[in-house]
Structure formats: structure tokens, C-alpha cells
Amino acid sequence: MTQTSQANTGFALPTPVEVPAASTTTATVLLPPGEKFEGTYNVVSDTSSRDLAIGGGILLVLFVAFFFAKNAYANTLVGKRVPPNKANAAGWWLFFFLASAATGVVLLAINAAQFMTPLFLGPVGFVSLLSLFLMLSTGRK
């Protein structure tokens, strides 16, 4: 066996490489507990059309599933001796509740910086709560 005189240096990190400056820079700032940010910060929110198309496709699939859930809920209420017209109305309110809640969640998943504002969440939340209330009150005997 031949021995080479290589020194075992162990694990070594590669030397840092300078990254060229981009047109937009991002920085991560860690603050100690109890301190808060001072000043104003711009939030870049760019939603591509591909993201919107994927979100629309997800909503379309969910709406079809919600339609079947609406029919199942209405049939369940009819089985519990609720009049068919009231059961059908309660089923549609369930559909509106599920659709508005899913729309809010998909919008938040697409671009939280743009859609997580009172301008978007307020009406979506109001429609969700109103349709939930109407579903529960309409579905009674």
C-alpha cells in the first residue's frame, strides 16, 4: 500500500460566490423578539396568468364536486322530512357557502399579498357567513 501525504481537512464549505445584482432585490431581516419594523415597505405581488388559470381550473373542479354535495345534502334533508322546496333551497345555500369559501382559499393560495386584503376577504367572508346562516335556517322543518 502506498501512502500519500494528503492532510485530512475534513468538511470544508465552498468559497462564497458573488451574485450579480438583480433589478429587484429581496432581503430577509430577522428582528429580536419585541422589536418591530419601522418605515414603509413595498410588497411586490405579481400574479401570472398561468397561476390564475390553474386556480380557475381548481375552482371549476371544486364547483362540480360542490354541485354533487348540494344534491346529496338536499336528498338527505328530504329523507329527514323537510319539504323538497326548502331542502333544495338549503342545498343551493350550501353550494354558495362552499363556493365562496373555496374561492377565498384559492385566491389566497394564488397570491396572498394581493388578495389577502379587506377589499377581497370582506365580501367573500360576508357571502360565506350569510349563505351558511341561510342554509342552516332554510334546512329546518
Radius of gyration (C-alpha) of the chain in whole angstroms: 27
User: pLDDT by residue for the chain (141 residues), tens digit each?
Assistant: 555 556 666 777 778 777 665 555 556 666 777 676 666 656 556 667 888 899 999 999 999 999 999 999 999 999 999 999 999 999 999 999 999 999 999 988 888 888 888 888 899 999 999 999 999 999 887
> For residues 127 and 93, is the Cβ–Cβ distance under 8 A?
no
Q: Is residue 114 part of a domain?
A: yes
Residue 104 lies in a domain: yes
Let me know if residue 23 belongs to a domain: no
98 domain residue, yes or no: yes
Domain assignment of residue 91, given as a range? 66-138
Handedness of CA 96, 100, 102, 103 (dihedral sign): positive
- Residue 16 covered by a domain: no
Q: How many domains does the chain have?
A: 1
The answer to whether residue 8 is domain-embedded is: no
* Neighbour tally for 92: CB within 10 Å: 17
In a domain, 88, yes or no: yes
Does this model's pTM top 0.85? My answer is no
> Which amino acid, residue 89?
A
Residue 81 in domain = yes
